[in-house]
Structure 1
Amino acid sequence: MDTSGAPIVVGYDGSPDAGLALEWAEATSSTTGAPLRVVVVGTAMDPVVGHFREHEDELVAAWSARATVHLRRSGHANAEVEVRRGPVVPVLRAVSHGAAALVVGSRGHGLAVGSLTGSVTQHVARHASCPVVVVRPSHQPDARRIVVGIDGSGGGEAALRFACDRGSRTGEEVLAVHAYRAPAIPAGRAVLTGAMSPGPGPHTRDLASREAADRLLAAATAGVRTEMPDLELTELAVPAPADRLLVDLSAASSLVVVGSRGRDAFADLLLGSVAQRVLQAAHCPVAVVR
């Protein structure tokens, strides 16, 4: 995570998950030294519906006051708290420009049109111009392991860099994971001939796939190993669906990091299917990096 003056921005709507997002951002700010900025989003409404606008103004004022009190109690009294008006996704997309990370809860309370719902976090992860961290309760709160998905893509490379930079600052272990496809076992003609089919057997093909996965991981991590020799970085190649593997590993992790698009994503997709499924099902916070 770049800390050269870029702020950590939190989208806050007063919900319990937004509170978790604020706590995660505070801890990260304390560790990295990055400035902290809290944005409360209120909808831009027509004055004709003044009674509803008045109700929402009360909510926004309460959220802003709650965030300010929380920041003061946690030693971040100098953090910026601001209210912005407009549709929540475009507003958060705008404040993501130049940010070190945009941090949001996995879902909001839904009391106002601009609140952070689960679908909104998916849209924010698709469109923000910086890494997006979606914070949810951790299955194992004392976990000290960051899991990052590696697939040989540019997104995977950026995710690894994000994970290792964070691990080097927090002292957490980084587990670089590559999920690969196990080779299918074709039906041979040995059934008819009583002889082995020509070509490599299933064990040879499986070994070749595993060796290729190990080479991909070694190549991906070589640079960060040189740059961060003190980082505890391990590698794991598993023949399994990537989303299922990452979700399973998230249960004993502090953070899962994925690229916004994998190697197999279509060029016009803003968020790959693996990232979407991990966002929906992980048991700890998830960072989506582009």
Structure 2
Amino acid sequence: MDALDVPHPVITVGSDLTSRATAALRWAAEEARRSGAQLRLVTVWHAGVASHEVMPPAAERAAMMADALADAGLEQDQASVVMLEGRAGPTLVEAARGSSLLVVGSAGHVGALGAMSGSVSRYCVRHAPCPVAVVGPSAAPGPVERVLVSGTLDPEGSTFRWAVRQAQRDRADVHLIDSWYLEPIVPSYPELDVRVREEARERHAKMRQRLEQISAGTVRVTESLASGHARDVLQARTRSRDLLVLPYAALHHISFVHGRCPVVVLPPEVPATAPVGPATVTEPASSVVPLV
């Protein structure tokens, strides 16, 4: 069964109710509304020494989270709160099993695994069994206008089907954004610059053709090819209502500051045909606090 047709889909979002996490919660709530998914808000605390002195009681935490969900515009039957104890990264990853999307907040720095801001988001991207949406504070609420893919960072096109499915559901464009770069050398060789540029154009045209074949006219495909490092081109050309989709492998090769739009990272085990809609999760009743 297609996940878009699953009767009780779930999106999992991790939040500590800080300002950084608020943008992620609002984005996840909008995603849940668009897809008809149930939103599951997960908060994790680690019971260390004197933790009772800094952590509000469980009932108070549940009330705070319920208020946050209400502020995000979700009705009582659209969301639930889960409070778990443990290390944030591993606990969120385990809580997301069975979901097809885990949403986490970020200060806006996304890129090489060693440089990505926030140990929790870094851990989730590395270990989550499902796609992970990393949402920075600058992400704009509202529908996605463009779903971005990059043949430069995804030469296999492994993200294309996922991105097309997302664009179909959101009635958004799919935008192929590629780049080419030649390190400055002395003396310069104009013929080398021309050759590198032509090779980039040929690769870009092939990726555009592949994307058109996958979309089969169901969404509008746009494109851009620019000179520069991939990280710089993405930073300059993305918008707040874009959704950038990257394969996990791309994070090993680039490091860029990216706070303008959410970034979805697909783990290696997600096939290219993975549906966009979240999958059903069976939640133990004892761990869920209904939104009131």
TM class by shorter-chain length? 0.7 to 0.9
CA-CA distance at 1:203 after TM superposition: 6.5
- Structure 1 residue 273 corresponds to structure 2 residue 253: yes
1:146 counterpart residue number? 147
CA-atom RMSD in angstroms: 3.2
- Given that 1:179 and 1:240 are in contact with CA atoms closer than 8 Å, whether structure 2 keeps it comes out as yes
The counterpart of 1:286, out of the listed 255, 263, 266, is: 263
Q: Which moved more, 1:239-248 or 1:117-126?
A: 117-126
What is aligned with 1:230? 218
Distance 1:260 1:176, change over 3 A: same
Larger Rg: 1
Confirm whether residue 124 of structure 1 aligns to residue 124 of structure 2.
Answer: yes
Report how far residue 207 of structure 1 moved.
5.0
Q: Unmatched 5+ residue regions in structure 1? A: 109-116, 189-196, 263-270
* The structure with more helix, counted as a fraction of residues: 1
> Does residue 256 in structure 1 map to residue 250 in structure 2?
no
Deviation per CA, 1:104-159: give whole Å up to 9, x if none: 11149xxxxxxxx72321222122111111112337667723322223747x6343
What secondary structure does 1:246 align onto? Answer: helix
Structure 1 position 67 matched with structure 2 position 44: no
Q: Deviations over 1:43-86 (max 9, x none)?
A: 144xxx3xx22234417654432221233452331212110110
Question: Which whole-Å CA distance do the structure 1 matches of 2:83 and 2:15 have between them?
Answer: 10
Matches within 5 A, 1:59-208: 61-72=59-70, 74-78=73-77, 79-107=79-107, 118-138=118-138, 144-151=145-152, 153=154, 157-182=157-182, 201-202=191-192, 204-208=194-198
1:241-284 superposed Cα distances (whole Å, 9 cap, x missing partner): 1111112122454322222113xxxxxxxx4232xx24x43322
SS of the counterpart of 2:260? coil
Is 1:39 the equivalent of 2:42? Answer: yes
Work out the CA distance in 1 between the residues paired with 2:25 and 2:153. Answer: 32
Structure 1 residue identity aligned to 2:266: V
TM-score normalised by structure 2 residue count: 0.74
For residues 256 and 23 of structure 1, the distance between their equivalents in structure 2, rounded to whole angstroms, comes to: 18
Q: Which residue of 2 aligns with 1:114?
A: none
Alignment size in residue pairs:
253
Q: Which residue number corresponds to residue 193 of structure 1? A: none
Q: Matched residues in 2 for 1:170 and 1:29: separation? A: 12
Return the structure number with greater relative CO, CA threshold 8 A, min gap 6: 2
TM-score (norm 1): 0.74
Q: Offset of 1:98 from its aligned partner?
A: 1.7
Return the offset for 1:39. 0.6
Q: Which amino acid is 2:76 matched to?
A: A
Change (3 A) 1:215 1:183: farther
Secondary structure of 1:222's partner? helix
Using the aligned pairs only, state the percent identity. Answer: 26
Distance in 1 separating the partners of 2:90 and 2:266: 19
